[in-house]
Amino acid sequence: MKTISIPRARQLANVTNNMFLSSATWDSFDTSTFQLVSSASTFIALGVQPGYIVFNPENSSTWAEVVSVDSETQLTLSGVFSTTVIGGTTELQRFSIVTPAEAFLVSTTDLATAKQWWSTYKVGDKIQSKGQQQRTLANLAVSTILDITIDVVAGTAEITVDKPMQTSNPILAYKQGDIMAIPVNYISGLEFYSYANSTSGEFIVIMYMGGADEYEVRPINEFLTSAEDVLALQPKFEAAVMNAISEVIRAPWPTANVMIEDSYGWEIDFYYEY
């Protein structure tokens, strides 16, 4: 049996919200002076301090620190942070702020959850935030677990990760080796469908297996807001799937599996003939 696969996502329960400011929108962000203006914000009244972390909840692959709080509506940052989804072109004007102590932690104060995390996950497993608008697509805002600690007296657990995660929205975890697989030799055909209009768009692949059996593979958050993002992301999606198929079929062993590259944040649905 030859298979292609994606990592299986599990949604973490009882995650503590670590956000200092879950979501705000900037009016302008100067990438040379690193000044961020958000007319609807009140940074001084809120208590934002230098050193706090600013990041895009849709894509935390890069982030910046607050250098100074210039006014209620203006911050100067240490550098740029991601302002689009990876591979996409639509500028996302959202940002989140988190304290440096909390920025790289995913934590719980529920003892049963803490024990479950401790017994299930280990260093090297992946954590992903669905993001503010839950538009985190494939491989965006995916972090790696650097450390995990449990305090059974306090009933808490903390997972340290390498990127800031917005924990006010669903957090997904990926355990190494835990995959969802599709048998390649039984695939009758693949239909990559993409759609967009002025306000929305999506892309998906349907893998027909014979009869009415089919797998549907898509980003968990499948709906986009712009045709540009569909055009930018769909070819990468298609290439990743077809590359995995080519690679596993060319493998010399009768049994082989290839994980689709950058498929964190994807899901597989199976529909079968009754």
Partner 1 sequence: MSAKFLGPFVSYDGLDPSDTSSFDNYRVYANFSNFMEIYQEGENAEIITMYRHLYKGTPPTGSFTGAYFEFYVIGEEDSLADSDYGFTKFLNRNVSNVLTSSPEQVIIKPEYPQSLAAVSQQTYCSPF
Interacting residues toward partner 1 by CB under 8 A:
184-198, 208-213, 227-228, 231, 238, 242, 245-246, 249-250, 272-273
Q: How many residues does the chain have?
A: 274
Q: Which CB atom, from 114 or from 138, has the smaller least distance to partner 1?
A: 138
Which amino acid is present at 219? Answer: P
Q: How far is the CB of 203 from partner 1 (least distance, A)?
A: 9
What span, in angstroms and rounded, lies between the C-alpha atoms of 170 and 122? 20
Least distance CB 102 / partner 1 (angstroms): 41
Q: In what order do the strands lie in the sheet with 126-129?
A: 105-108, 156-161, 142-151, 126-129, 171-183, 2-11, 256-259
Q: Shortest Cβ distance from residue 182 to partner 1 (Å)?
A: 11
Taking the least distance from each CB to partner 1, the nearer of 71 and 200 is 200
Q: Which is nearer to partner 1, 72 or 202 (CB)?
A: 202
User: What is the nearest approach in angstroms of partner 1 to the Cβ of residue 120?
Assistant: 31
Task: Report CA-CA distances (Å) from 16 to 107, 123, 167, 172, 240.
Answer: 6, 20, 7, 14, 34
Which of residues 122 and 250 has its CB atom nearest to partner 1 in the complex? 250
Least separation in angstroms between CB 36 and partner 1: 30
We find the least distance from the C-beta atom of residue 224 to partner 1, in angstroms, to be 13
Task: Please identify, using beta-carbon distances, which residue of 187 and 268 lies nearer to partner 1.
Answer: 187
Quote the least distance from Cβ 136 to partner 1, whole Å: 24
Over the range 35-52, which residues count as b (16 or more CB within 10 Å of their CB) and which as e? bbebeebebeeeebeeeb
Cα–Cα distance measured from residue 267 to residue 62, given in angstroms and rounded to the nearest whole number? 25
Q: Which is nearer to partner 1, 69 or 206 (CB)?
A: 206
Report the nearest approach of partner 1 to the CB of residue 197 (Å).
5
Nearest to 60 by CA among 30, 86, 24, 26: 86
Nearer to partner 1, 118 or 192 (CB): 192
Whether the CB-CB separation of 81 and 62 falls below 8 Å is answered with yes
Residue placing its CB nearer to partner 1 in the complex, 208 or 223: 208
For residue 77, list its beta bridge partners. 66
- Give backbone dihedrals phi and psi of 118, rounded to 5 degrees, phi first: -60, -40
Q: Which two tokens stand for residue 227?
A: 């045709």
- 262 Ramachandran zone, left/alpha/beta (phi>0; psi -120 to 50): left
Least Cα distance to 229 among 23, 36, 59 occurs for 59
